[in-house]
Amino acid sequence: MNAMFVSSPAAIPPLRYSQRTERRSRWLTELTELITFPTISAQPQHRKDIRACANWLARHLAEIGLHHVQVLAGMNGGHPSVYADWLQAPGKPTLLLYGHYDVQPVDPLREWRSPPFKATIVGNNLFARGASDDKGQFFIHLKAVESYLRTTGSLPLNIKVWLEGEEEINSPNLSTFLNREASRLQANAVLVSDTEMLGAGKPSIIYGLRGNLSCELEVRGPNHDLHSGRYGGAVLNPLQALSEMVAGLHDRQNRVAIPGFYRHVRNLQPSDRQEIRCCNKRDKQILTDLDLPAGWGEGGYSLFERMTIRPALTINGLASGYVGAGGKSVIPSRGMARFSFRLVPDQNPQEIAQLLRQHITATTHPAVRSRLAITGGSDPVLLPRNSPVMQAAQRAVTQTWGVSPSFTRSGGSIPFVAQLHRRLQVPIVLLGFGLPDDDIHAPNEKMSLTNFFRGIETVIRFLSEYGT
Amino acid sequence: MNAMFVSSPAAIPPLRYSQRTERRSRWLTELTELITFPTISAQPQHRKDIRACANWLARHLAEIGLHHVQVLAGMNGGHPSVYADWLQAPGKPTLLLYGHYDVQPVDPLREWRSPPFKATIVGNNLFARGASDDKGQFFIHLKAVESYLRTTGSLPLNIKVWLEGEEEINSPNLSTFLNREASRLQANAVLVSDTEMLGAGKPSIIYGLRGNLSCELEVRGPNHDLHSGRYGGAVLNPLQALSEMVAGLHDRQNRVAIPGFYRHVRNLQPSDRQEIRCCNKRDKQILTDLDLPAGWGEGGYSLFERMTIRPALTINGLASGYVGAGGKSVIPSRGMARFSFRLVPDQNPQEIAQLLRQHITATTHPAVRSRLAITGGSDPVLLPRNSPVMQAAQRAVTQTWGVSPSFTRSGGSIPFVAQLHRRLQVPIVLLGFGLPDDDIHAPNEKMSLTNFFRGIETVIRFLSEYGT
């Protein structure tokens, strides 16, 4: 690796800067501070924390030497984002660095082994909500930029940084925001580190993301809660009706049962499937990792394919009735389910929402009433793999990790990527440093410190490769 | 009515006593005090409130002139009950007055129009948790006893009072308790006021109760919560599996789908069904009262029959996943459903539990694990209608209300009644003064003050009729 590194002389000082122990120690202290803000964008009580975190980030971006630092007000009363740039490299390309500083809720709290907003280092991992998704990952970008500016006083290309505060709620105001800010964010390429590698020492570049569509279904029955002894057997229980509707969203082949749902799903060439299969986890490994007795899903596809190139429907939450201590003999007057789709090319969230509405109307039992709300959506995206910026990323990864990155697809969704891809038609590199066992969105989320520091080296090399 | 009353001269002084305005006002103050204790037996945090209420009741029983007042410790760490008696009528029958001072949880609290544990009188109704089920109703017994003892200084028969503290959690320790206390509770007949009339001015005596069986089903999937983007489509979501299992508890004919469930259900004679149909609510009325678009249930039976003479299965609660503000893209690692059966003669809770276990095992998808817990159960009961105590109750009702009571069946369960009936083989009179719109177990529970005061008169007459 050193031999390869020497071939990129401009990068030497920032790389050395990033490798000093006392510096790495300071960076972990800074990341710990960033993690302290409970920036749960879904929960209104954290508005102030989100605002405070945005201000902290703005200060930090100025401290590392970026210009035009601004906290940009959220659209429609939403959460703010943070912008900064460094545009002193005329004639060089402009790279937009994207990240999001909001995080997922921490429930169930009792399953955390350390407080979610107190970064806790155990062995080679840093545990905290946001450690991997995405505070720890976009911080990699900032530390790469810092390493350049503090050593050479400049960057090998122009940089814009945009840190979002609503990614974990599906970026509901992104479209309006881009209407206002498209020119500010205009760039020749975008770097996003909000994905994961295939495993320790197995870097990957993601070229496909699933879209999504999130929904809330309410079923209402009698006009008030009833005593289940008195009325049981004569009243359709809203919870039972809800369970039946939820169960009816899949057919016996484990496929989504909504008529027309698969109409526009693009079938992959055998060669593409072969590529996906060879470099990704086998079914058995996935089941072992999750301690699952058996797999599940659409026939004819591996588990990894079901997770990435095939669409899916997931129930995210069910609630109603009395589930507190002891029991309660009640027929609740209503029940609620939250669920979300993951969509693949060429499914369209609006069209799927329409099909879902028809399906819910058709399957609502006449003895209850239902109400469906669409709470968010984003397009699936496939990114071209042959742009110069993609090649620069490949070289940077190979130099740093000693292996070339796998090109693969992710089952997740990053609404910003889908929208930016559609709106600005700019190449986007999804180069993530998370690991499959980072438990993002779950208790005990963590980030590998190896990946954190090696990520910084990778991004330093990437800036060099793309800028020169 | 007065003419009839005159035919029962021994009852005159207690009746007059009970009709004085200032006395009725004091009684409402006392009932208000009794209601103040949040005696929710299902919730451990109310242990002290339950103990305090038992002590309050013990003092009150002594104040109205009863003897041998005792707070009896709960079995197996359960809630206490309160006992008192008056046994100064040698040669006369002994009547056990049963009631329960524990109440249902108050969720959902936001739907209450007044604080649940602050008795609030609006028009002719007293609103509070426990107003009708069962504090308000057993208080009727106590005030009838007081009316006798304060006027004649004696009772026309021997009285035992037993007030339970675990009825709303299905009396889990009753069997053990009866092993210890059977001789203390031994009586010639039992009076229970924990049921409802057919409507205002339409008294009824219940001769049948459904049994019940309450259960909790947990479904576990992956060993921790997963990101639904990453794994959606390849992992059987425990909430989906749970929904399918819950949906699969009924068949397409709205019957319970557990094999063997109906095996021992006793079919009624057409004459019995005719009697039930003629004196009870019509389907249309029930649907209008509950603001329901359509009925539901087993074919071939009226809604009232489905609620009383037919068994039922009700989902009482569902919980899992994230249902807080905003959304969370999660495949939860587990889901939980609470449900309960109502059983009719000659179904047996133990046997139904066994059938359920087999059904759950058979319908658990191999990609998840399930765990079924039986949390309570009681036998269905049918009471003989021709005993002398039943006839005394009929006369007392007719004298007070001007109409004879309907004999009918209730869909609810009172484990005490089932067990006492089986263990002591003693006639039990279920003479309740609740109304169908009392909203017991639901927000805004209430008791009609007309029924409260007329209930006291009815019980005074019943003591007289049965004792003389």
Decide if B380 touches A, using CB distance below 8 A.
Answer: no
Helix (H, G, I), strand (E, B) or coil at B371: strand
B78-86 mean pLDDT: 98
**Of B380, B451, B457, which Cα lies nearest the Cα of B202?**
B451
A81-93 mean pLDDT: 97
Contact A237 B314 (CB under 8 A): yes
Give the closest of A227, A296, A342 to B440, CB-based.
Answer: A227
Rg (CA), chain A: 24
Provide the Cα torsion A36, A39, A45, A51; round to 10°. 90
Helix (H, G, I), strand (E, B) or coil at B398: helix
pLDDT on residue B324: 65
Could you report the per-residue pLDDT of B113-136, keeping only the tens digit for each?
999 999 999 999 999 999 999 999
Residues in chain A: 468
Give the closest of A224, A231, A318 to B321, CB-based.
Answer: A318
Tell me: pLDDT of B272 over 90: no
Q: How many CB pairs under 8 A join A and B?
A: 360
CATH class (in words) of the domain with range B2-209+381-467: alpha beta
Decide if A41 touches B, using CB distance below 8 A.
Answer: yes
pLDDT on residue A324: 65
State the Cα angle at A309 between A307 and A313, rounded to 5°.
55
Ranked by mean pLDDT, the top range of A90-94, A291-295, A423-427, B329-333 is: A90-94
Span(s) in chain B for CATH 3.30.70.360: 212-265+311-378
pLDDT on residue A1: 37
Q: How far is A71 from A84, CA to CA, in rounded Å?
A: 9
pLDDT on residue A22: 95
In chain B, the residue whose alpha carbon lies closest to the alpha carbon of A242 is B243
Measured between beta carbons, which residues in chain A are less than 8 angstroms from residue B367?
292-296
Decide if B123 touches A, using CB distance below 8 A.
Answer: no
Q: How confident is the model at residue A6 (pLDDT cuts 50, 70, 90)?
A: very low
In chain B, the residue whose alpha carbon lies closest to the alpha carbon of A299 is B234
pLDDT on residue B326: 60
Proportion of chain B above pLDDT 90, given as a percent: 78
Which one of B50, B262, B296, B435 makes the best mutation probe of the A interface by having the most chain A beta carbons within 10 Å?
B296
Tell me: pLDDT of B165 over 50: yes
Q: Which amino acid is at B377?
A: G
pLDDT on residue B370: 97
Decide if B340 touches A, using CB distance below 8 A.
Answer: yes
Measured between beta carbons, which residues in chain B are less than 8 angstroms from residue A310?
233
Contact A107 B243 (CB under 8 A): no
pLDDT on residue B323: 63
Burial letters B97-108, b for 16+ CB under 10 A, else e: bbbbbbbbbbbb
Q: How far is A253 from A329, CA to CA, in rounded Å?
A: 36
Q: How far is A317 from A149, CA to CA, in rounded Å?
A: 46
Q: Kindly provide the residue ranges of all beta strands, DSSP E only, lying in B128-249, ordered along the sequence.
A: 158-164, 189-192, 204-209, 211-220, 226-227
Could you report the per-residue pLDDT of A343-400, keeping only the tens digit for each?
999 999 999 999 999 999 999 999 999 999 999 899 999 998 889 999 999 999 999 9
Tell me: pLDDT of A7 over 50: no
A3-14 mean pLDDT: 56
Decide if A218 touches B, using CB distance below 8 A.
Answer: no
Decide if B295 touches A, using CB distance below 8 A.
Answer: yes
In chain B, the residue whose alpha carbon lies closest to the alpha carbon of A321 is B317
| Other beta carbons within 10 Å of A97 | 24
pTM of the model: 0.83
Q: How far is A163 from A172, CA to CA, in rounded Å?
A: 15
pLDDT on residue A352: 98
Measured between beta carbons, which residues in chain B are less than 8 angstroms from residue A297?
233-236
Tell me: pLDDT of B4 over 70: no
Mean of per-residue pLDDT scores for chain B: 92
A103-115 mean pLDDT: 93
pLDDT on residue A281: 82
How much of chain B is in helix, strand and coil states, percent to nearest 5?
40, 25, 40
Q: How confident is the model at residue A5 (pLDDT cuts 50, 70, 90)?
A: very low
Decide if B446 touches A, using CB distance below 8 A.
Answer: no
Decide if B291 touches A, using CB distance below 8 A.
Answer: yes
Decide if B225 touches A, using CB distance below 8 A.
Answer: yes
Q: How far is B64 from B151, CA to CA, in rounded Å?
A: 11
Mark which residues 8-27 of B lie under 8 Å from A by CB.
none
Span(s) in chain A for CATH 3.30.70.360: 211-265+311-378
CA distance B195 to chain A (A): 10
The answer to whether the bond into A133 is cis (omega within 30° of 0) is no
pLDDT on residue A293: 86
Q: Which amino acid is at B339?
A: F
A181 DSSP 8-state letter: H
Q: In what order do the strands lie in the sheet with B125-127?
A: B120-122, B125-127, B446-448
Helix H or strand E segment including B376: strand B369-378
List the CATH code of the domain at B212-265+311-378: 3.30.70.360
Decide if A89 touches B, using CB distance below 8 A.
Answer: no
In chain B, the residue whose alpha carbon lies closest to the alpha carbon of A212 is B229
Measured between beta carbons, which residues in chain A are less than 8 angstroms from residue B227?
412, 440-442
Check if CATH label 3.10.290.10 holds for domain A211-265+311-378.
no
Measure the N-to-C terminal CA separation of chain B; round to a whole number of Å.
20
Tell me: pLDDT of B41 over 80: yes
Measured between beta carbons, which residues in chain B are less than 8 angstroms from residue A225?
108, 111, 441-443
pLDDT on residue A414: 87
Pick from A281-285, B343-347, B432-436: least confident? A281-285
Q: How confident is the model at residue B12 (pLDDT cuts 50, 70, 90)?
A: confident
Mean of per-residue pLDDT scores for chain A: 92
Q: How far is A243 from B127, CA to CA, in rounded Å?
A: 33
| Other beta carbons within 10 Å of B159 | 28
pLDDT on residue B435: 96
Decide if B296 touches A, using CB distance below 8 A.
Answer: yes
The angle, 0 to 180 degrees and rounded to 10, between the axes of the packed helices B47-63 and B21-36 is 150
Q: How confident is the model at residue B299 (pLDDT cuts 50, 70, 90)?
A: very high
**Of A330, A248, A298, which Cα lies nearest the Cα of B248?**
A248
Contact A326 B105 (CB under 8 A): yes
B252 CB-contact burial (10 Å; exposed 0-12 / middle 13-18 / buried 19+): exposed
Tell me: pLDDT of A9 over 70: no
- Within chain B, what is the greatest distance between any pair of CA atoms? 82
Span(s) in chain A for CATH 3.40.630.10: 2-209+380-467
Proportion of chain A above pLDDT 70, given as a percent: 96
pLDDT on residue B38: 98
Tell me: pLDDT of A338 over 70: yes
Pick from A1-5, A58-62, A275-279, A323-327: least confident? A1-5
Tell me: pLDDT of A440 over 60: yes
CA distance A51 to chain B (A): 18
Q: How confident is the model at residue A322 (pLDDT cuts 50, 70, 90)?
A: low
Q: How far is B263 from B251, CA to CA, in rounded Å?
A: 16
Could you report the per-residue pLDDT of A54-75, keeping only the tens digit for each?
999 999 999 999 999 999 999 9
Q: How far is A375 from B221, CA to CA, in rounded Å?
A: 26
| Other beta carbons within 10 Å of A71 | 16
Could you report the per-residue pLDDT of B185-232, keeping only the tens digit for each?
999 999 999 999 989 999 999 999 999 999 999 999 998 888 888 899
Check if CATH label 3.40.50.300 holds for domain A2-209+380-467.
no
In chain B, the residue whose alpha carbon lies closest to the alpha carbon of A250 is B240
Decide if B244 touches A, using CB distance below 8 A.
Answer: yes
Alpha-carbon distances, residue B70 vs B66, B160, B175 (angstroms): 11, 12, 20
Tell me: pLDDT of B403 over 80: yes
Helix H or strand E segment including B21: helix B21-36
Tell me: pLDDT of A125 over 50: yes
A374 CB-contact burial (10 Å; exposed 0-12 / middle 13-18 / buried 19+): middle
Measured between beta carbons, which residues in chain A are less than 8 angstroms from residue B327?
42, 169-170, 214, 316, 338, 340, 375-376
Decide if A351 touches B, using CB distance below 8 A.
Answer: no
Tell me: pLDDT of A428 over 90: yes
A223 vs A82, more confident: A82
A183 CB-contact burial (10 Å; exposed 0-12 / middle 13-18 / buried 19+): exposed
A25 vs B326, more confident: A25
Query: Which residue shows structure tokens 């814009």?
Result: A160
A439-455 mean pLDDT: 95
| β-bridge pairing B67-72 and A211-220 | unpaired
Which one of A110, A206, A316 makes the best mutation probe of the B interface by having the most chain B beta carbons within 10 Å?
A316
Span(s) in chain B for CATH 3.40.630.10: 2-209+381-467
